[in-house]
Amino acid sequence: MSKLKKWLVSAIALAMVVTAGCSSSSNNSASNASSGTSNAGSGGSASGAPVELTLWSSEMRSRDIIEKSIEEFNSSHEDIKIKAEFFEDEALKLKMKVAISGNEIPDLITYWSGETFDQLVANNMLADLTDMLNETPELKDNVLPGGLETFEYDGKYYGIPVLFSGVSLWYNKKIFAENGLTPPSTFDELLAVVDQLNEKKITPIAVAGKDRWPVLHWFSYLAQRIGGTEPFEKAKNNEADFTQESFVQAGELLKSLAVGHKGFVNGFLGLDYAAAESLFMNEQAAMYLQGEWAMEAFLEDPEFAANVGFVAFPAVEGGVGTTDIFHGGFGVGMAVSAATNKEAAFEALKFLVSPEQRVEIYEGPNISPMIKTGINESNMHPLAYEYSSFVSSNLGGYFGYYDQSLDAARSDKLMNAVGAIVGDANSNVVEELGKVK
Amino acid sequence: MRLRTSSKVIIYCILLVHLVLTGYPFIWMLISSFKTNKEYFADPWGLPSAWRFENYAEAWREGIGQYLFNSLYITAFSVIGLLAAAVLIGFYLVVRPFRGSKLLLAMFFLGMMIPVHSTLVPLFTISHNLGIYDTFWALFFPYIGFQLPLATFLVYNYFGEIPREIEEAAVVDGCSIYQTFFRIYLPLAKPILATVTILSFFNIMNDFIFPLIMISKESLRTITIGLMMFKGSFSANYSLISAALVLATSPILILYTLLQKYIQKGMVAGSVKG
């Protein structure tokens, strides 16, 4: 018995020594590495090993461009090596959850603003970028208004926006011209267009009802055009619910569009994103409400893209919301882990978010969150250029996606309520919206 | 026993319906994989206008080959490790039971009841602390750990069915315990090892959650993760995905066809203690 005890004690002691040794050695290497960065200019620092930074990025579709920048960064910075890993959305969300619970997030992340980002900040896992931003005014002052505020918590900045997204109403120029239609600027005009298209047996609007959020976009735009952004802020903070006048009115209008005027494609509740998109792209539907990301598919078919036009979401007569307010926001930002070598990470961050490095991304189907973007019209498809300049010259403000701003439970209920309103002719708008609590 | 023609017809009809239900989705995937993405949506049920073999070339270029290789080699080595562990544990517990060996066995079986998801965070932390995160070993050990209960269970029961007289005879003839293992038990264990191989091979090959959590770098991503990467945030080229799926399923299909007879046998072997 005593023999066993002795063994146990020595085993535990050994384990402690080993773990203590490990952690102290890793601390050493980190501090060595950071001194290496600061001494880089004078050359010949004590530790030769470069700082390795891992980046987890959600920007799968801009992957090649980002990898090119990273290569450039790595070859010009001997003491810092960035290693980027790109993930599909759902995969990254799951990985991030585990990484947060395991307290091992990567050095750099490109991630969505919203609930998970809040959680990262609340757990003190992200580095405060305020000082770094104040030292680099050329970066700080170049961000579009509202961009840094998206990642601001208690007066400190924790992220730098890399993408702006805005939803607009896309339409098929050819179908509109053939039928003598003009793109709608008010909701009543939209209903008139829908009726005329239906008369000619052309599907007016493609919408991915199965994914639910595309229908919610219609609802939130209508609610904003009617009552401005204030009602939603109140509802979000639980000061009022979704039975406020503007929401009910938005529900009624949406219902008259979907049910009364049969504006949405038949069976839209069963269509997923790709199917709805392909309806619009196969010229089987005349209109499509979607963010700038939809351009990615349009641009792959330049011939089709030439036929695509867009207008801001129509105004509603008597409503307070103006058409220069976009549904969207600074959805994706880059942040730095609190546990990393900050000096090196900031250096990498500044490089990667700079307009020079990201210009190719913004010349594609993306919108820059910066004032000076450096995009060159001659490198772009006319549609991409038009939309970029349309947003940057018209942007009077933006309001965030309802499903991302609300907590998960209410966001789910709201999407169900909107689904019921457009899907069931006998549904009661007030009753359905009242269920969102 | 000869079945009457009428009942034979009925059986064949049922089997035919079953074949259509299970086989048609595969055929559909195969056909879709030759279409363009536009065709995929415009005419989901028809044949492609031109057979686009480029889809396969592109899927391969996008990394399916690498993903498939990763999956196969991670699975193969994990299965080998698993077999070695399970057969040794099963053998020792049967041949040399000691005080508490039943308890040890019970603990293995308890392991079957632990849901994988509840262990993700601890495993993630452990692999970080051991410095094996994002390496082959971060998958190797968890895979063996999670497949071990079932494997041990099967091997233990199988060895339990072998008459003890065989071992006694071996000892009388002068076999050491190692010789008993290598000359008597291991050769006899072939059928059960085949069963364990098949069961765990498919489990590991199809696993999604461990490679997602434990692996970040591109060069180690398995086929399950790789297929997910084919679907972009907002766009999905379904015909390309179909081609990738055909490539990804074919090794499993081939393996299944080759091992068919063992799979049937394996399902019952070891499950009943004689």
Whether residue B227 lies inside any domain: the answer is yes
> Is the pLDDT confidence value at A5 over 70?
no
Q: How confident is the model at residue A301, as a pLDDT?
A: 86
pLDDT of residue A42: 36
Q: Per the CB < 8 Å rule, is A281 touching B236?
A: no
Average pLDDT, chain A: 85
Is A332 an 8 Å CB contact of chain B? Answer: no
Distance from CA of B27 to the nearest CA of A (A): 21
Position A285 pLDDT exceeds 80: yes
**Residue B106 in this model has a pLDDT that exceeds 60:** yes
Nearest to B63 by CA among B210, B220, B209: B220
Q: What amino acid is encoded at B100 in this protein?
A: G
Residues 6+ apart with CB under 8 A from A404: A112, A113, A114, A115, A331, A411
Q: How many CB atoms lie within 10 A of CB B240?
A: 23
Q: Which of B42, B121, B212 sits opposite A91 (nearest CB)?
A: B212
Q: Kindly tell me if the per-residue pLDDT of A418 is higher than 90.
A: yes
What's the CA gap between B99 and B110, in Å, rounded?
A: 19
pLDDT at position A16: 47
CA distances from B125 to A150, A153, A302, B142, B222 (A): 31, 28, 48, 13, 21
pLDDT score, position A18: 46
User: In chain A, which residues have their Cβ closer than 8 Å to the Cβ of B217?
Assistant: 83, 85
CATH, residue B177: 1.10.3720.10
pLDDT at A179: 93
Q: Which of A61, A102, A106 lies nearest to residue B233, judging by beta carbons?
A: A61
pLDDT at A31: 37
Tens of pLDDT, residues B240-265 = 888 999 988 888 888 888 877 776 66
| A107-124 pLDDT tens trace | 999 998 877 898 899 999
Q: How many CB pairs under 8 A join A and B?
A: 76
Q: Report residue A287's pLDDT band, with 50, 70 and 90 as the boundaries.
A: very high
Domain tally for chain B? 1
Domain contains B236: yes
d(CA B65, CA A159) in angstroms, rounded, equals: 37
| Residue B69 maps to a domain | yes
Per-residue pLDDT at B74: 95
Among A45-49, A315-319, B150-154, B205-209, the range scoring the smallest mean pLDDT is A45-49
Confidence (pLDDT) at B48? 85
- CB within 8 Å: B233 and A98: no
Cβ of A83 and B232 within 8 Å?
A: no
Residue A63, Cα to own-chain centre: how many angstroms?
16
Residue B21: inside a domain: no
pLDDT at B233 over 90: no
A297 contacts on B by Cβ (under 8 Å): 234-235
Per the CB < 8 A criterion, the answer to whether A161 and A143 are in contact is yes
The predicted structure's pLDDT at residue B127: 92
ipTM of the prediction: 0.77
Q: Distance between CA atoms of A170 and A290, rounded to whole angstroms?
A: 7
CA distances from B271 to A74, B156, B161, B268 (A): 57, 10, 11, 5
Tell me how far apart the alpha carbons of residues B152 and B89 are, in angstroms, rounded to a whole number: 7
Question: Which pLDDT value is given to residue A388?
Answer: 87
Q: What is the pLDDT of residue B192?
A: 87
A339 touches chain B (CB under 8 A): no
Q: How far is B229 from chain A (nearest CA, A)?
A: 6
Give residue A6's pLDDT band: very low, low, confident or very high (50, 70, 90): low
A50 secondary structure, DSSP code: P
Q: Which residue has the higher pLDDT, B81 or A381?
A: B81
Tell me phi and psi for residue A172, to 5 degrees.
-90, 110
pLDDT grade for A11, boundaries at 50, 70 and 90? low
Instruction: Give per-residue pLDDT as tens, A384-399.
Output: 999 988 887 888 888 8
Domain holding B218, by residue range, is 28-273
In-domain check, residue B15: no
pLDDT 10s digits, A296-349: 889 888 889 999 999 999 999 989 988 989 998 888 999 999 999 989 999 999
Tokens of A232: 């939603």
Q: Nearest-CA residue of chain A relative to B237?
A: A274
CB A384 within 8 A of CB A364: yes
Confidence of residue B199 (pLDDT cuts 50, 70, 90): confident
Domain contains B16: no
B5 domain residue, yes or no: no
- In this prediction, residue A417 has a pLDDT band, given cuts at 50, 70 and 90, of very high
pLDDT in tens, A58-91: 988 888 899 999 999 999 998 999 999 998 888 8
pLDDT band at A350 (very low <50, low <70, confident <90, very high): very high
Query: Considering the entire predicted model, what is its pTM?
Result: 0.77
> CA geometry: angle at B239 spanning B234 and B240, to 5°?
80
In a domain, B57, yes or no: yes
